[in-house]
Amino acid sequence: MKIHRLGLMGVLLISSMVYADPSGLKALSNQELSQVQGQGGADLSLSLSLNQAVPTGSGLSNTYACANGANQYCRLALAFNNRQDQNGNLYWLVFKKIQGTLAIDKFQLDGTTVTVNTNQYRSALKLTFLDEYPIQIRNLGFEALSIETDTGTADSQKGYLSTFVPSTYTGFDQGLERGFVGVNINANLALSGSVKVFSCNGSATSRC
């Protein structure tokens, strides 16, 4: 019998603790709201791989993952207006074997407020980058930059699909596709600071 009484007393005690009298609530001004402090947000990580094996665990793979004869689909090609030969075939600026991995182990996503005018505040999204978690850049770049020309109007005759390999080279770049100016970047980029994103109504203020 005593157990039942204790349980009932516990329920009544909890009920009295969580009950709030709505008559005691009041609206807060913008100034009062700006002084309210709290904690909320998320710690995020990011890994972006382009034409590379996806990183596993804490390591970053440098494996090129666009092989087996599919190199023509791992490139970026640009064609400019009025750049063509006498037969109307387009010239293409082709970045061959584009690849790379960008990763950041931790950055923070929070909510905050910004001041847009005197006593006017806006909710904002805040991204924070930390020195101890740099952006890791691995094997980012391209193997060769080349100028290619269409050989016809069919899709299979586009210059950016050319995989021509010169056979006269006996030294440097032997067996590689035609091109020049390759770029490969491996580095850590340390950032310290935050970026705030907020809405704007278009009025003539210093923030808009």
Kindly tell me the sign of the dihedral angle through the C-alpha atoms of 136, 104, 125, 27. negative
Tell me the per-residue pLDDT of 124-173, one tens digit each, with 9 for 90 and over: 889 999 999 999 988 899 988 999 888 888 888 888 888 777 777 676 66
Which strand (E) or helix (H) includes residue 24? none
Q: Angle at CA 142, nearest 5°, toward 137 and 146?
A: 160
Please give the average per-residue pLDDT across 71-90, as a whole number: 85
Domain ranges of the chain: 40-105+129-191
Residue 173: its pLDDT value, please? Answer: 66
How far apart CA 98 and CA 118 sit, in angstroms, is 49
Is pLDDT larger for residue 108 or for residue 33?
108
How far apart CA 84 and CA 32 sit, in angstroms, is 66
Three-state secondary-structure class, residue 175: coil
Q: Which residue has the tokens 């020195």?
A: 131
- Of 10-24, 39-53, 139-153, 161-175, least confident by mean pLDDT is 10-24
What per-residue string of b and e applies to 42-58 under the rule 16 or more CB within 10 Å gives b? eeeeeeebebbeebeee
Q: What is the rounded average pLDDT for all residues in the chain?
A: 77
Residue 10: its pLDDT value, please? Answer: 40
| Total residues found in the chain within this entry | 208
- Confidence bin at 207 (pLDDT 50/70/90): low
In this structure, are residues 143 and 78 in contact, taking their beta carbons and an 8 Å threshold? no
Most confident of 56-60, 77-81, 118-122: 77-81
- Confidence bin at 118 (pLDDT 50/70/90): confident
- Confidence bin at 38 (pLDDT 50/70/90): low
How many other C-beta atoms lie within 10 A of the C-beta of residue 162? Answer: 19
Tell me the per-residue pLDDT of 184-197, one tens digit each, with 9 for 90 and over: 898 899 989 999 98
- Tokens of residue 114, six digits: 């910004």
